[in-house]
């Protein structure tokens, strides 16, 4: 999944990415959410297939592209920096982004 294609398709249903942050934001009401269900036990958070829907139903009637419906945003943490990937080809870019950050300003949760 090409990140730029996905970002464009998300825009069509009124949703924005916020950089690498593992959140999506509604263009209408500005509500933002994590497109993953809660982690259970030791397993990684899993994605909801309706992950692109605003919880306030702003885009409930939108028709997502096939790419959007089959994309599986993946939660990732590198060096305590959380991010969201849409495919393995994103990983390298995210790693470079993490390395470019000043480690001293990363909040430690």
**Residue 17 CB coordination number (10 Å):** 17
Q: Site for Zn ion (CB under 5 A): which residue of 6, 13, 15, 54?
A: 54
Does 85 sit near Zn ion (CB under 5 A)? no
**Total residues in contact with Zn ion, by rule CB under 5 A:** 7
Burial class (CB in 10 A: 0-12, 13-18, 19+), 82: middle
Q: Residue 99 interacts with Zn ion (CB under 5 A)? A: no
Structure tokens at 76: 């990732």
Rounded to a whole number of angstroms, the minimum distance from the CB of residue 25 to Zn ion is 9
Residue 26 in the binding site for Zn ion (CB under 5 A): yes
11 near Zn ion, rule: CB under 5 A: no
- The reply on whether position 28 binds Zn ion by CB under 5 A is yes
What is the nearest approach in angstroms of Zn ion to the Cβ of residue 46? 23
Tokens representing 72 are: 């599986």
Answer for which of 56, 69, 70, 99 binds Zn ion (CB under 5 A) is 56
83, 22 contact by CB (below 8 A) = yes
> Is 24 a binder of Zn ion (CB under 5 A)?
no
For residues 54 and 81, the answer to whether their CB atoms sit within 8 Å is no
């Amino acid at each position: 999944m090409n990140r730029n294609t996905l970002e464009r398709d998300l825009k069509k249903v009124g949703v924005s990415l916020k950089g690498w942050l593992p959140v999506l934001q509604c263009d209408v009401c500005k509500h933002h959410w994590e497109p993953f269900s809660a982690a259970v036990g030791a397993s990684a958070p899993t994605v909801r297939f309706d992950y692109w829907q605003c919880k306030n139903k702003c885009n409930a009637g939108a028709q997502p592209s096939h790419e959007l419906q089959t994309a599986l945003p993946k939660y990732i943490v590198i060096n305590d920096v959380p991010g969201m990937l849409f495919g393995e080809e994103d990983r390298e870019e995210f790693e470079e982004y993490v390395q470019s950050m000043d480690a001293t300003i990363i909040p430690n949760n």
